[in-house]
Structure formats: structure tokens, C-alpha cells
Amino acid sequence: MAGGELSERKKRILKAIVDAQIEGGGPVGSKAILAAGGMNCSSATIRNEMAELEEMGYLEQPHASAGRVPSELGYRFYVDSLIEHYAMTTHEIAQINNLLRVKMGELDQILSAASHLASNLTNYTGIAIKPRAGSVSISKFEGIYLEPDHFILVAVASTGTVKSKHIRTERPISAETVTKLAEALNAMIAGLAAGQITLPIIMELETRMGAESGTVGTVIKVIYDLLNELDAGEMQVAGIDHLLQYPEYSDTAQFRELLGTLEKKDDILDLVSTTDGGEGDINVLIGSESRVKVMNNSALVFKPIVKDGKTLGAIGVLGPRRMDYAKVLATLEGLSGNIENLIQPNKQLHDGGTSDG
């Protein structure tokens, strides 16, 4: 049965194997662990412990004559229980703190800059995400009359985003009709998410518009499209070429499939938008934990950016399962702290991004 209580010696051996994997990437044998120091036992004892760790599901043996590599369970135990604090260098802290000196008003720009820096600092792929909210609504509608068959619908979203759509009508309408329509939308549609705009509401809206009810169907379709746009989420990727240096991505077909997933964005946006973590907690998804099959050989680590209890975005790192988790966690903590300083000016200055692990 997979899992089980580990003795202190088993923990030290598992940690040594994961550390060696992060550093070198190949299977690790008992002699390498003994040579690394810190083990007061024989090579034969280490081999026995490694065999037991394999039976428990924490290690895997790729080849009969080779050493072991950590399994997904082994990496999970390492991240949850064995990881050590990563002390960032003065240069790394300075690079992170430099984000505070960049005058960027838009969160998109801040997240993009942070993802590039995350990629450069960790040597993996950086990801900037504005997750799907799942409950976006329109707070206010305005109508701007242009011509008898043409007006502009302006929508202020619950997220603060303002969108406008040009609408052409099949029949001529007046400026008064456009005003009446905006008032009806504010009374009946404002504050509703897409799933809450039901047929009875649409029919009531048509009744309210009376002789001008013919415009309602066109406008409702535009509103659905607007809500889908507002809740689509966004994702930017930086430094994907870094992955090419890791043997895990040497299979051209698999790497092309991963590229397709990153370009399509939907799977990762869904993943980040629906992952249930504590407010503002770092999420570490290893292999199949991500539910995205093409990422079974990868790990995705991301940190939500939270303001006033609301998740505004996230920054993350994608790399092989054997990524340097301690450094990645410390980097994302440092970056997220400085991003929150940029969007919350009164918050105390972050100290440069260290992590407890």
C-alpha cells in the first residue's frame, strides 16, 4: 500500500534522493547517498531502506540495475515535510524589490513583469494569470444613440472593466428607446452573472420594452458575449525555452503537446481558477495532481495575488517534477509580496521574499 509513516533515516534518504534529482536528474544509488554525507550507516542499509521506500510508493526504479528516482508521492512528501528554507541572495532580493520601482498602473503589466522575472530567477517557465472569476456581472449599462439603426452599449463590469459594443438593429429606433433600454437593463440585468439571466427575465424585459421588444434578443446576445469575454481569464507565458534544457522535455511530440496546452490556455486557466487553496496560499501541483494529462511529467506552482479578499491574478512557475521547489516557493513569495505592495500602497514593504517552505 502506498504511503505510510517514515522513520527519520528514511526521511533523510528520501530527501537526499530528491535533492540529488533536482541537482542532476539521473537515478540515485546508495553509494551516491553515502558519498553525500550525513548518513551513519552502511551502503547495504541504505539499499534496504531504498527498497522499502520503493515498496511504500515514495521511490521508483526506472531500470533493474539503476538507482531510484522519487515518485510523485515522494515529491509530494518532500514538498510537504522535508523541504528546507531557501535563503535568497542579495542580488535575487534586489531584482525582486526592483518591481517596486517600476511605474506600472495596470495589473496585467505587473503580472507580466513578475512572470518574466520568475522565469529568469528560477530557470523554468514563468506564468502570469488573471483567473476566471466565475461570477462576473455588469454593474451598470449605458446606451449611446448614434443613428436610427446603430447605437453603442457601454457596460461597466463588477471587476471595474469597461466594455463597449456597437449594436445594429434591424428596425429603426430612437434615442429615447436607447435610453429606455439602458434603464431596463439596469433594473433587470445589472448584477446578474451569465447563468442567472434566465428566459423568464428576458421575457419580462421584452414586455417592459413593449413595441421596441425586437431589440432585446440582439442586446441579450451581446451581453452574454460580454460576460464571457470578461470571465475568460488571461494567461501570459515567459521563458518557455528554459524547459528545453531538461531531459524530461526531450520528447518532441510531448513537448509540442505541452506547448499547445500553454498556447490554448484554457486547461491551465481552469486549473488555477478552480484549485481550492487557502486564501493567498501557494499551490503546488505535482504531475497528475494537475488533472492536465500533458503535465504529468511537470509541476506547476502558483501564488494568487489577493486584495481585500479577492483574487486579482496569480503568478506561477512551470517546470519538471524535479524542480527546485525551495527556490521556486521563495521566489513566488517574494514576487507576490511586492505585487501586493504595488496594488496596496499602504501595506508594509515586503522584505525580499523568503519562504518557510
Per-domain boundaries in the chain: 8-82, 90-132+233-343, 138-230
The DSSP code sequence of 169-232 is: -SS---HHHHHHHHHHHHHHTTT--GGG--HHHHHHHHHHHGGGTHHHHHHHHHHHHHHHHHTS
CB proximity list for 150: less than 8 A, separation 6 or greater: 166, 167, 168, 169
Listing from the earlier edge strand, what are the strands of the sheet with 310-320?
Answer: 234-238, 125-130, 310-320, 298-307, 283-286
Q: Are 97 and 114 in contact (CB under 8 A)?
A: no
Q: What is the pLDDT of residue 310?
A: 73
pLDDT at position 100: 66
CATH class of this structure's domain 8-82: mainly alpha
Element (H, E) at 146: strand 138-147
Q: What is the CATH number of domain 90-132+233-343?
A: 3.30.450.40
Given this model, what pLDDT does residue 128 score? 92
Mean predicted lDDT score pLDDT of the chain: 86
> Among the residues of the chain, which ranges form H helices?
8-24, 30-36, 43-55, 72-77, 90-97, 107-122, 175-188, 199-209, 214-230, 252-264, 266-274, 325-343
pLDDT digits (tens, 9 = 90+) for 254-306: 899 999 999 888 888 888 877 755 567 899 999 999 888 888 889 999 998 88
What's the DSSP call for residue 319? E
Asked whether the predicted pLDDT for residue 65 surpasses 90, the reply is no
pTM (whole model) above 0.85 = no
For residue 353, is pLDDT > 50?
no
Query: Which triple of cell numbers denotes residue 35?
Result: 558519498
**Which cell numbers hold the place of 171?**
428596425
**Domain 90-132+233-343 shares a fold with domain 138-230:** no
pLDDT tens digits, residue range 213-239?
888 999 999 999 988 888 777 889 999
Secondary structure of residue 353 in the 3-state scheme: coil
Q: Which fold has domain 138-230?
A: Enolase-like; domain 1 (3.30.390)
- 184-to-39, 72, 192, 205, 256 alpha-carbon distances in Å: 75, 55, 13, 7, 50
- Measured CA to CA in angstroms, residue 349 lies from 86, 95, 300 at distances of 20, 15, 27
The packing angle between helices 266-274 and 252-264, to 10°, is 70
Q: Exposed, middle or buried, 215 (CB in 10 Å: 0-12/13-18/19+)?
A: buried
> Residue 170 and residue 149: Cα distance in Å, rounded?
7
Torsion of CA 135, 114, 240, 283, to 10 degrees: -50
Share of the chain above pLDDT 90, in %: 54
**CB distance 120 to 328 below 8 Å:** no
pLDDT, mean of residues 117-126: 96
